[in-house]
Structure 1
Amino acid sequence: MNKNNETTGLDLTVPARLLTRSEAAQYLRRSTGTLANWAAKRKGPVYYRQEDGAVVYAVEDLAEWLALQRVLPVVA
């Protein structure tokens, strides 16, 4: 279900695929501790905290965040 909530303006798009923190860490080639530290500092990729406290990441959010980390070379 892909809808925008007109009352709050929130995007209620359901991600196609969710990864655990461990899977997300493998995807980004970082440790789970790094992802936990980033989350605590409100850095890094967007994540979802579920009712039971589990943290999951949408693959598309990881890909978007990674693309934003791209550094272009300086042309001399």
Structure 2
Amino acid sequence: MKIKAIIKKMNCQHCVDKITKTLQKNLKAKKVALDFDSQILTCQLKDEKSVLEMQNLITQLGYEIEGLTIED
């Protein structure tokens, strides 16, 4: 599943690195890309359960998800 989301409350490159590493480590997400300027996250996840886990992880890190799009 290809995921695209806008991540709010990011204020530095450290935030980008933290989110990216967390998704890769905990969800084994593939092709994770997070652009600081546009605040757009794209990644490849295996199933819907992983999408919910991704949302929870990002929220636990203190960020907000806006405009989540899922493509099969």
TM-score, normalised to structure 2, is: 0.30
Q: Which has the higher strand share?
A: 2
TM-score, normalised to structure 1, is: 0.29
Give the number of the structure with larger relative contact order, counting CA–CA contacts within 8 Å between residues 6 or more apart: 2
Over alpha carbons, which structure has the higher Rg? 1
